[in-house]
Structure 1
C-alpha cells in the first residue's frame, strides 16, 4: 500500500488498473494498493455466519437511510471518514448487553447498555410452574442505563426474563431466578 501526495495525474483516477493495482481515496488521502482477488479457500462456518450477519446489518443500514430522523441520529455519531450508513451497520452488528439485574422489593432494575442506544427492555415474570404471570416494558431511568419495572408480585421459585432490544431490533435475553 502506498499513500500518494501531490500527484496531479492520480487526483482524478479511482478504481483498478488491470489485475495489478487498485486506486482509492480514504479520509482525503489517495491510496494505491495491490489488487486483491477472491479467496480460493472454502469459507468456514464462522465466515458464513459473519457474512450473513453483515448482510442483515447492511440491509438495516439501507433502510434507516430512508428515515430522516434515524439517519440524522446515526450521522450525529459518525466520526471523520464515517457516515450514517457506517454507524447503522455497526449498530446492527452488535446486540445490547444486560450487565446487571437486581430487585428492590417488587421493582426489577435492569442495567442494559449498547454502544448506541437500548430502545426497550421487556420484563416477563414467570411463576415456578413456568407460566408467564405478567409482562411489561421497563421505564428508562435518568442515568440512561437502568431500566425499572414495578411488578405486581415476584413469585418465590419463579424467574424473571429480561429482553433488551436495540434500535436495529437485536435482542439479548437474560433470566434470573427469584429466591424463595
Structure 2
C-alpha cells in the first residue's frame, strides 16, 4: 500500500512529460513575406484606378526546354534570359492597396495592367535575408528593398519601409497625379 502513492506520482510525471513532448511547434500563420503597396494622389489621399486592374509578376531566368525530335528522341536545351510572367492579382476593382511576393533573385519586376489600356512597370532591387524559424517551421525569406524604379503613368514611388517581412505594413507608396474634381 505504501507503493501506491509513489506509483501514482510516477504515472502522473510520465504522462506530463509525454503530453509536453507532443506539443506542436507554434509556427507563424503567415510564413511568406509580401511587399505592400499603397496608391495615393499627389496630396497623399488614397486613389484607386477606375478600371479593373491586374498585377503581373515578371522574372527573367534561364529555362530548360525539352524538344521531341522526329525520331522520338527527347533533347534538352537551355533558353537563357527567358521572361516568365504570372498574374498575382486578376482584374480587381477599386484596388488602392495590394500585396505581392518578391522573387528570390535580387530584382523583382511587377506590371500594373489597367484593363489592357495601359501598363506601368515597377522594378524593385532588394537584398534577400533568409530567416531560420525552426526545424518544424523551416526557413522564411525576408527582403530589404534597396532601390525602386517605375515607368509610364506613375509619378513616383517612395520606399516607406525597406524591411519586407511577414508583418503587414506599408512598404511602398505609389504617387499618381490626379486632377482636382472641385
Fold-level match, TM-score > 0.5? Answer: no
Larger helix fraction of residues: 1
Higher RCO, Cα 8 Å, sep 6+: 2
Choose 1 or 2 for highest CA Rg. Answer: 2
